[in-house]
Homo-oligomer: A and B are copies of this chain.
Amino acid sequence: MLKLLSLLVPLASASIIQYQANVSAISSEWNATSNSSSSLSLNRPAIHFTPDKGWINDPNGLWYDAKEEDWHLYFQYNPESPHWDLPLYWGHAVSKDLTVWKDHGVSFGTKNESDGAFSGSMVIDYNNTSGFFNASVDPRQRVVAVWTLAEPDKQTQLLSYSHDGGYHFTEYEGNPVLDIDALNFRDPKVFWYDGAEDSEGHWIMAVAIPQKFSVAFYSSPDLKEWTLESDFTDKGFVGYQYECPGLVKVPYVRNTTFASTPNSNVTSSSPLSFNSTESWINSTSAAWNSSSVWNSSHTNSTLLNSTMFGNETVLQEALEESGFAWVLFLSINPGAPQGGSVNEYFIGDFNGTHFHPFDDQTRFVDLGKDFYAMQTFFNTPNQKDVFGIAWASNWQYGNHVPTTPWRSSMSLVRNFTVTEFNPNPNTTELVLSGVPVIDYSELRKNGTTYSIEDKQLSVSDSEVIELEDPTGVFEFSLEWSVNATNVKNYVFSDLSLYLQGDKHADEYLRLGFEANAAAFFIDRGHSNVPFVEENPFFTQRLSVNNPPSDYTSNTYDVYGVVDRNIIELYFNNGTVTSTNTFFFTTGNYISSIILETGVDDVYEVSNLRVNQFYAD
């Protein structure tokens, strides 16, 4: 039986400049296509970047302009039609808050229609190592794009530079800067590696030799001359090919709430709460001061010598002292175990030329189906944070998802750290944690909060939260505990959330936890949209391993963001995540959140909170 929850009083809705800006974009887009056969234009995400029109895939060239305090996102872009095709361009978008983006259209392309400006990165050449800049260009805006020119029979690495803060680019006349006469050789991600105190430092490029399952590391003093230093080959899950590598120095945040010794009791980590990411923008807004800041904050050193590998105590001490670990990100497509595209990562050390993972594990960044080609920003305000964006689609079906006149969105921005995690009660290991970076300050102020607290669930007593005036955009957090004594292994023992459409109740997302599978599931198959019903690669049912946040009390938590046609789920402080698109009929926004169980005396929900965001 369902009963209606008494709702908290909605807060007053006021106009928010940032949010409204995007809503205006949605409206104009909708007007532009209202005569088309589109049935899903209204379902455009509000706080995930989408292009006004056309096709996008990999995020490219991410950087933060400390002078203008702007975040720059470039992306693989076909402005002509909502599917991948040549010629492929770099598109460009800018944001003040990493939440709302302004689409600036095409940034640059290639000379020939049969070529593509494939993926790459941007660096800030603060000290003008390239010679592309003079004093008229603020050091904080000396951006150079390093990208792949894909010709029909060859892929090479090129440079383009901007004198106006990333809006217009000039191709370096000495291009290509790296040509190994290879059909597949792409996706350069470049960063500056500071040398030891008596050495100069140099640029490092991680670039994929996709079908050799290899990441090559090149060094350069000036971005123009590159020397092969090492390679990282035949590691992890390889699928068909490697793409989009990225080597990044990621802050290490020791999680003292996780056990460092086997079998000791562990206590809860802080679950993602409504407030946990509130202050990111302040904490990271330290101004860029001078090149000395750059150097001091980028002091690199080798964490460990080879004898230290495999010694957990030594490793933990080294990480605490250094404050970071190196993470190699890698994209695999096709051939992901769950189908199509997937991102994996390796945690280890880098000595300026060679990357050495701490172990031989295969770890995935996100276990949903719509998170690929993740790239991190060159530069963040405090010079330490690592923020990343992924393409929120899958090559198995990205060209067929029912949106128009655009196709694909980016993921939310994630703030990455390396931390401890207990995948089971007897092991502590290093993992990547990624939590969403959203400027909630205005969104929440005008939203409505709904809440259920300390609720013992039973079969006959469900709970419903009804969202008034559904917008399709909300966040939620759920904390629950399991009374394992009452779980019978042969009884399907679920706690389920049904996120039901307003206009068509037969369209819903089902999310939930099942105690015997110890997994959290998502079912996005309950939709009347033909693409969902028919495309054999659009996996309806997905699940992730879901260990407790606290093994002693058997407590679990999930934080989710729903944004029109995408849902991002974060478990255990972002150490496990699952990002998936979903598609309902036009404008059928989620309005009911139904909390149910199929078993008595198993689940207690300490907190279910929902915050709907209003556009105006």
Q: Which residues of A contact B (CB under 8 A)?
A: 81, 83-85, 184, 211-213, 234-241, 262, 334-340, 342, 359-362, 364, 367, 395-397, 399-400, 423-427, 429, 489-490, 492, 494, 510, 512, 514, 516-519, 521-523, 525, 535-543, 545, 547
Q: Which of B184, B364, B427, B510 contacts A337 (CB 8 A)?
A: B364
Q: How far is the CA of A401 from the CA of B241 in the complex (A)?
A: 36
A236, B362: Cβ atoms closer than 8 Å: yes
Q: Which of B184, B213, B396, B426 contacts A211 (CB 8 A)?
A: B426
Q: Is the CB of B547 within 8 A of A543?
A: no
Q: Are B490 and A83 in touch, CB under 8 angstroms?
A: yes
Residue in B237, B489, B519, B540 whose beta carbon sits within 8 Å of that of A540 in the complex: B540
Q: Which of B362, B427, B510, B537 contacts A536 (CB 8 A)?
A: B510
State the main secondary structure of chain A at its contact with B: loop
Name the distance in Å between A571's Cβ and chain B's nearest Cβ. 12
Contact of A519 among B364, B396, B543 (CB under 8 A): B396
Of the listed residues A211, A342, A397, A525, the one surrounded by the most CB atoms of chain B closer than 10 A to its CB is A211
When the two chains form their complex, are residues B536 and A335 in contact, meaning their CB atoms are under 8 A apart?
no
A239 to chain B, nearest CB (A): 6
A489 to B84, Cβ gap below 8 A? yes
Residues of chain B within 8 A (CB-CB) of A362 are 236-237, 362
Residue of B213, B427, B537 near A543 (CB, 8 A) is B537
Pairwise interchain contact A489-B399, C-beta atoms closer than 8 A? yes
Q: Verify B338–A338 contact, CB threshold 8 A.
A: yes
* CB nearest to A576 among chain B residues: B335
Partner of A518 from the list B334, B342, B522, B525 (CB cut-off 8 Å) is: B334
Identical chains in the assembly: 2
User: Within the assembled complex, what's the spacing in Å between the Cα atoms of A367 and B361?
Assistant: 19
Chain B, Cβ-Cβ closest to A407: B490
| B236 in contact with A424 (CB, 8 Å) | no
Supposing A213-B427, A241-B424, A360-B360 touch, asked if A537 and B514 sit within 8 A by C-beta, the answer is yes
User: Which residues of the partner chain B approach A522 to less than 8 Å between Cβ atoms?
Assistant: 536
Contacts of A334 in B (CB 8 A): 517-519, 545
What are the residues of chain B within 8 A of A426 when measuring CB–CB? 184, 211-212
Verify A236–B545 contact, CB threshold 8 A.
no
| Contact, CB under 8 Å: A361 / B238 | yes
Minimum Cβ distance to chain B for residue A264 (Å): 13
Cross-chain contact B361 with A545 (CB below 8 angstroms): no
**Interface pair B542/A521, CB less than 8 Å apart:** no
C-alpha gap A362/B234 in the complex (Å) = 9
- A57: shortest Cβ distance to chain B, in Å? 12
> Which of A241, A335, A367, A397 has the largest count of B CB atoms less than 10 A from its CB?
A335
Report the bound CA distance from A455 to B574 in whole Å. Answer: 51
Do residues A240 and B543 form an inter-chain contact, with CB atoms below 8 A? no
Chain B min CB distance to A58 (Å)? 15
Q: A262-B212, A425-B211, A535-B492 are in contact. Are A236 and B360 (CB under 8 A)?
A: yes
